[in-house]
Structure 1
Amino acid sequence: MTSPALSVQLYAVRDELTHDLDGTLSRLAAMGLRDVEAFDFVDRAPALADSLAQNGMRARTGHASLLSAGLGFDDPALAAGQAGPPSQDAVFAAARRLGVEIVIDPFVSPDRWLSEDDVLDTAARLNDAAKRAADHGLRVGYHNHSQEFVASFRGASAYEVFADQLHDDVVLEVDLYWAATGRQDVVALLGRLGDKVRALHLKDGVVGDDPFQPGAARMDPTTLDQRPAGQGDLPLLDYLAAAPSTEFGVIEFDYYAGGNIFDGIQASVEYFQAAGLR
């Protein structure tokens, strides 16, 4: 099976990170993790870079809004009453400071996936962002939820229409839990996407109703039943085997109701380490 670098999305420990940056990273490093995926990193890139270095860690991927006016229900900029996310140039400059190699847009509004014209426009915008990122020595990508699978055009989901338009230097980070929530055959999806898939969100849990269906109530993360790897519905190792070009396998919890979040991450780390990921 493929053996990508094992990482963790720092959003999973967002509260802990705010209160104790160094202590949080130290606990993750003690689990054997050497890679993390950053989020909301523009303003804190210097402090985060210093703390990562002190703990022998890297952030080679990072989430930042490149395409949308806001990230949605959990957008830190909107929550702070700011006008919106930083400019692309600010994002790319901070990414270089942090050592990020791939900047990944984590969320494009559900209404942008219901019309083929909007889907094609979103792909064009990401391709344009990739050109600007290349000037900084960076790649860009996109991370899905489930809204990308609601609509279909000419027999293909909006997500796959989008993916087909992306330039070769633009990557996909497939969130396995959200693809399953979108009622996808995930192994078949990964096979069709091929080597565009360079990162996976290795997220397990019980797959429930799709909260991003049109007309659904605003998504409440606390209703999600996400669990440590190997303790939910998803055959994560089968998914890894179906995406052999994956460079980064990223553990993440949108919300963890199982107790201490570090325990949930530790259980996932041990599961993947036993399968050969490091």
Structure 2
Amino acid sequence: MTTPVLSVQLYAVRDQLAEDLDATMARLAGMGLREVEAFDFVDKAPRLAEAFTKAGVRARTGHASLMSEGLGLDDPAFKAGTKAGPPTQQEVFEAAKTLGLEVVIDPFVETERWLTEEAVLDNAKRLNEAAEKAADHGLRVGYHNHAQEFLATIRGVTAYEFFADQLRDDVVLEVDLYWAATGKQDVTALLGRVGERVRALHLKDGVIGANPFEPGAARMDPETLDQRPAGEGDLPLLDYLAAAPNTEFGVIEFDHYGGGHIYDGIEASVRYFNEHGLR
């Protein structure tokens, strides 16, 4: 069993990053964090790398779209030249190397692409092809779930597990524990079934509500989510960690924090995990 390094997904402090990157990184480092997980880094990699070095932190995982390359280019705004196309995989991987990443994780694929066998097979094919390209850059790729991946059953298993079974051996999973629970999963059992592929966990606690990714559901409003510091919600996070012994990165994240300032929520989670041996 490995002891995962404690990290934080920078999406949780997106507003603070936009105001003052260096101050935000210094504040996180002051909590004892030495690892962060990047997002939206393709156009900002050199500046982010500079800020990480200054704060004494590193990012070995980062979120960027990989499975949607080539999709959405029929958007009229894109054709009219008023909307930029998404970064290419080549651009993603070059930026990842600039930042010092080891694993690039696709953070979201919309609900409709998880409802049929054909669509899920296409998702897997796209991520496998990205993995092949990433290997040329010395990188791995992975996928981060929400709750839509658990809606459909394909060949007797959830679309998520069917997808995982189609992946190359070098493709990893980052399991978001809160969203897997929202998808009505027995999370401990799920972690056991997907096994060695799980190399990162989003250590997110809270009170589990309705699945906002079901077809026809209203667009998710993050402010309706009851996400809480680790140890203060419904999720037995330490049990989940024990059920995923190959986890390399334990990543604190909040989609929204309504319990005060976001720094308070992160710091409370850091203290909780420090008390239980994660640093």
Q: TM-score, normalised by structure 1?
A: 0.95
CA distance in 1, matches of 2:85, 2:160: 25
Instruction: Provide the C-alpha distance between the structure 1 equivalents of 2:217 and 2:69, rounded to a whole number of angstroms.
Output: 21
Check conservation: 1:2, 1:240, Cα contact below 8 A: no
Shift of 1:206: 0.3
**Counterpart position of 1:211:** 212
**Equivalent in the alignment of 1:177:** 178
Corresponding residue SS for 1:253: coil
Q: Residue 68 of structure 1 contacts residue 107 of structure 1 at CA under 8 Å; is this kept in 2?
A: no
Contact 1:46-1:98 at 8 Å conserved across structures: yes
- Once the two structures are superposed, residues 32-51 of structure 1 have per-residue CA deviations (whole angstroms, 9 ceiling, x without a partner) of 00000000001111111001
The alignment yields a C-alpha RMSD, in angstroms, of 1.6
Deviations 1:194-247 (A, max 9, x none): 000000000000000000011111111111000000000000000000000000
- In structure 1, the partner of 2:83 is 82
The structural deviation recorded for 1:154 is 1.8
The 1-side partners of 2:66 and 2:32 are apart by: 31
CA distance in 2, matches of 1:68, 1:210: 23
CA distance in 2, matches of 1:85, 1:103: 16
Mapping 1:140-155, distance limit 5 Å: 140-155=141-156
Contact 1:105 1:142 in 2 (8 A): yes
Aligned counterpart, 1:65: 65
User: In structure 2, what is the Cα distance between the partners aligned to 1:179 and 1:277?
Assistant: 22
Distance 2:24 2:147 in 1: 30
CA–CA separation in structure 2 for the residues paired with 1:183 and 1:84: 35
What's 2:234 paired with?
A: 233
Identity of counterpart residues, as a percentage? 73
Asked if 1:8 is matched to 2:12, the reply is: no
Shift of residue 67 of structure 1?
1.1
Looking at structure 2, the residues matched to 201 and 100 of structure 1 have their Cα atoms a distance apart, in angstroms, of: 17
Q: Which whole-Å CA distance do the structure 2 matches of 1:2 and 1:272 have between them?
A: 15
Q: Is residue 127–residue 166 contact of structure 1 (8 Å, CA) maintained in 2? A: yes
What amino acid maps onto 1:234 in structure 2?
L
Alignment-mate amino acid for residue 228 of structure 1: P
TM-score (norm 2): 0.95
> What code does the residue aligned with 2:32 have?
G
> In structure 2, the residue corresponding to 1:83 is in which secondary structure?
coil
1:25 matched residue in structure 2? 25
Q: CA deviation at 1:84?
A: 3.7
State the number of aligned residues.
271
2:34 is matched with which residue? Answer: 34
Distance 1:166 1:270 in 2: 36
The one-letter code sitting in structure 1 at the alignment partner of 2:203 is: L
Counterpart position of 1:275: 276
| 1:156 counterpart = 2:157 | yes
2:211 aligned partner, one-letter code: D
CA distance in 2, matches of 1:69, 1:110: 17
Q: Which residue of 1 aligns with 2:139?
A: 138
- Aligned equivalents of 1:84, 1:63: Cα separation in 2: 17
- For 1:145 and 1:180, locate their aligned partners in 2 and report how far apart those are by CA, in whole Å: 10
User: Which amino acid counterpart does residue 239 of structure 2 have in structure 1?
Assistant: D
Cα separation, partners in 2 of 1:113 and 1:84, compared to 1, 3 Å: same
2:69/2:88 contact within 8 Å kept: no
SS at 1:60 equivalent: strand
Unaligned runs of 5+ in 2: 72-77
Which whole-Å deviations, capped at 9, do the CAs of 1:65-92 have from their partners, x for residues lacking one? 0112699xxxxxx9xx733420000000
Contact 2:9 2:36 in 1 (8 A): yes
Q: CA deviation at 1:137?
A: 0.6
> Match of 1:107?
108
Instruction: Using the TM superposition, give the Cα deviation of residue 155 of structure 1 relative to its aligned residue in structure 2, in angstroms.
Output: 1.3
Q: Who is 2:225 aligned against?
A: 224
Gaps of 5+ in 1: 72-77
Report the AA paired with residue 241 of structure 1. A
Task: Kindly indicate whether the alpha-carbon contact (under 8 Å) linking 1:202 and 1:249 is maintained by their aligned counterparts in 2.
Answer: yes
Tell me the secondary structure at the aligned position of residue 173 of structure 1.
Answer: strand
CA contact (8 A) 1:101 1:139 kept: yes
Once the two structures are TM-superposed, the CA of residue 2 in structure 1 deviates from its matched residue by 4.7
Shift of 1:103: 0.1
